Chains A and B, each alone.
Chain A
Amino acid sequence: MSIATTATTAPHDEHHGPARGLMRWVTTTNHKDIGTLYLCFALAMFFVGGIMAMLIRAELFEPGLQLMQPTFFNEMTTMHALVMIFGAVMPAFVGLANWQIPMMIGAPDMALPRLNNWSFWILPFAAAMLLSTLFMQGGGPAGGWTMYPPLMLQTGEAFPFVIFAVHLLGISSVMGAINIVVTIFNMRAPGMSMMKMPLFVWTWLITAFLLIAVMPVLAGAVTMLLTDKFFDTSFFNAAGGGDPVMFQHIFWFFGHPEVYILILPAFGIVSQIIPTFARKPLFGYSSMVYATASIAFLSFIVWAHHMFTVGMPLTAELFFMYATMLIAVPTGVKVFNWVATMWRGSLTFETPMLFAIAFVVLFTIGGFSGLMLAITPADFQYHDTYFVVAHFHYVLVTGAVFAIMGATYYWLPKWTGHMYNEKLGKWHFWLSVVFVNVLFFPQHFLGLAGMPRRIPDYAVQFADWNMISTLGGFAFGASQLLFLYIVVQSIRGGAKATGRVWEGALGLEWTVPSPAPYHTFREAPEVH
């Protein structure tokens, strides 16, 4: 294949494919390579965070302190969340964006390929630094991933490293988000209007705007923590004229859009998978776009529902209750549209579809507990209990993580050229879906029965459900090793995949061969 070179083309020869060896991965500007880097990093972080979760659940197996001291337990809960959110889920979604968005819009690569490389390579350094704090004097951060002052200021030597790691992670996300916005706005193939873009592209576009808007807010909040500790400011110190609650406002102004950042790409994934396996177009495309945009907008005005117990004025409590309840409406619309897509389709249940269906059911359960949490007077009983822990694990694990796994099964054949082992995939699904519920559903009961969050030891009436939850946790964790095996096996070999892979698959990515060539859509495709 030859390309007419002009005087403005750099004289590097792209016909010989990617560079060889380690340097390929260090210097690559190819969206597929960078996507792979993000996904491998995310998978490794998923296991790191997963081991922390297993340690937490092991300590909570029985009442009493068996395995660790309370301080280490607090370090584990803090790091588990930071690793899973910033090391696993967000990079995984960015990896999927990198692999899929250019192909889905018929573009040859991302708009800013070298920025793309830097966005990724910050991550291993940031993660290494964050994890190294566990081995510093005073231990790693133990104030929760929410880092509330004054408690967070009692962190030991690790403190500046945690702040710096958060900054680095944020910079990576913002740079990636800018890349995504510019790519989507400027590089769609002719004929692909905005309202013809796949939903995954739409949800990532909106997510990217959320990232650009709120990551700097987090950076501001943690920088104020830094100056309070080292430079004698009193942003959050009442004795100095400051306000600990202001941190919570700033943090959650980031934090609430952040959780939508963690779920919108998942919505996009599910909106790709279900139509494929229902052999039926997505129901209500425009509604889905408007609903996603509404959710993103509303996500900016609900933050204080994480702070109902701090003592806000009544008017504020009422406003945030109403606004939070309102988000249920567009979210519900999306769930109904997915079900309507399935209705009177011609359904088959390969592994990606199983994960997508489980997502719709279990994310909705997480949505229900979210709606309950929105009711302020009721929230006074739920807040800071295991009811909240159950809620966010339903939306993040059976929500975001299941979507990522479904997406992996869905697109692995396109990436590797091999069909993954469908039988093993189904085993992974069923083990995961059963045990994730054994792990998290009883936590609703624990919260309602009165068990607070972030405690390493508990009263005896909470013992039975904790034991069940721990057993579910160990089984769920072990099942993920099967996922690792399936992914690695599929990279190394397997039945040859066609270009289309799935009978009902529609979209530009399915018009290129499997595995997708190193460079795709060097010439823009025709879009009808």
Chain B
Amino acid sequence: MSKKGLLGSLGAAALLLWAGGAAAGFGELNMRPGVTPISHDVYHLHMAILWVCVAIGVVVFGTMFISILRHRKSRGAVAAQFHESTLIEILWTIIPFVILVSIAIPATKTLIAMENPSDADLTIKVTGYQWRWRYDYPDSGISFFSNLSTPQDEIDNKAPKGKEYLLQVDHPLVLPINKKVRFLTTGNDVIHSWWVPALGWKKDAIPGYINESWARIEKPGTYRGQCAELCGKGHGFMPIVVVAKTEADYAKWVKEQKLAMAQAAEAATKTWSRKELMAHGEKVYTTTCAACHQATGTGVPGVFPPLAAGHPFAASDALLKPLRERGFLDESGKVVMGPLEDHIQIVLHGIPGSAMQAFGGQLNDADLAAVITYERNSFGNTTGDVVQPADVAAAR
């Protein structure tokens, strides 16, 4: 094959990619400008450096390909013997340096603007959990978890995937447009990263750290993003959805949220029926517990214990001991439904040193009561226990 083949095949590949790009689905080729002034700046910087690289590439690769075509021995080329030139070395050191400076200047300006979260109109606290996000609005007292809402059947290829597959949540982050929103980002367990491409940046969510960033969204709409720091098995399954509303719609939403929170607080003091607890408990279990303990309650061998009594749990001593101590493992290594008080304590405070988190700070009394009731009466468990939110409150 002639050496034109190298040029030819690269050219053909590029052509194929571009032609294919025109077809639907392959249209995802480039970063988008986004919906904030910063995201626009970042987009322009990206395009600028891209074109600089293309230009340099054309010059360098062009020279090389001319050489490949013209200076081949088979064409009778005789090798020259020159092998140095201080002048040319200086030139092709200085010229790239100048090009770099020309990029560094606008990049510096954009970075300085990005790292200036002062005079914000609204502050949002973002906390990364394994494997979901929590949003707090300190000024309004609103607080909620935002969980992936894609049905497991779609992930398991048992149902067709929707358009927003893996990018949909139960409770999106709602923000007003045209306001400077300051984000305080942290992590609860491991490092996560909060990224919405349309806003123009991402920021790591680090346990023990609070990172500051800001955005001013210019257009109402729904903007989706994902966790961008490996955080375990659920890393690909903790998306971010931001719904940007006009100021009026935002104010309405805040009022609705406050009302809903008041109702939930009421629910925590009332007496629930067993049916209500089981229904609500199943929802909480699916969202919060099934990731590890599985929808069937059978856990993952060696890693996450089953919640179904009678099921064996083969694991290291380090994992078995805390279960045995709390009365949830019998001598034959099978899981049992231990005492209710211990069950409540495990869910409230977790098991230190293991992957079982403390959910006391993450779920309210009603959620906790419901999920514990659900666990103790599902998967073949027949304790008949019914836990009221007041019981959980008392156990804290």
What is A's interface to B at a CB cutoff of 8 Å? Answer: 63-66, 69-71, 74, 137-138, 142-144, 148, 150-151, 154, 156-157, 237-239, 243-245, 278-287, 309-311, 314, 317-318, 321-322, 325-326, 328-330, 332-333, 335-336, 339-349, 354, 357-358, 360-361, 364-365, 368, 371-372, 375-378, 380-381, 383-385, 426, 430, 433-434, 437-438, 441-442, 445-446, 448-450, 452-465
Contact = CB atoms under 8 A, between A and B. Distances in A.
Given A238-B208, A281-B83, A441-B17, A333 B28 contact: no
Contacts of A245: 206, 209
Contacts of B195: 384, 452
Contacts of A344: 67, 71, 77, 79-80, 82
Contacts of B165: 63, 459-460
Contact of B60 (A335, A378, A455): A335
B114 A377 contact: yes
B80 A333 contact: no
Given A321-B107, A372-B50, A378-B107, A279 B79 contact: yes
Contact of B235 (A238, A433, A434, A455): A455
Given A378-B46, A438-B13, A459-B167, A244 B191 contact: yes
B276 interface: no
A119 to B, nearest CB: 32
Contact of B42 (A328, A342, A378): A378
Contacts of A426: 1
A285 B83 contact: yes
Given A309-B193, A342-B71, A70 B233 contact: yes
A20 B130 CA distance: 57
Contact of B77 (A330, A345, A430): A345
Contacts of A375: 45-46, 49, 103, 107
B93 to A, nearest CB: 6
Given A70-B234, A385-B228, A449-B28, 6 more contacts: A243-B208, A332-B56, A346-B78, A360-B64, A426-B1, A458-B166
B79 A345 contact: yes
B231 A151 contact: yes
> Secondary structure at chain B's binding surface: helix, strand, loop or mixed?
mixed
Nearest to A455: B236
23 contacts: A65-B156, A65-B157, A148-B230, A156-B303, A284-B83, A318-B111, A321-B111, A325-B103, A335-B60, A339-B67, A342-B68, A344-B77, A344-B79, A364-B57, A377-B111, A380-B114, A380-B201, A433-B6, A438-B13, A448-B31, A452-B235, A455-B235, A457-B236
Contacts of B190: 148, 150-151, 154
Contacts of B10: 361, 437
Contacts of B193: 309, 384
A243 B209 CA distance: 9
A227 to B, nearest CB: 16
Contacts of A442: 17
Contact of A460 (B1, B77, B161, B200): B161
Given A154-B355, A459-B167, A287 B25 contact: no
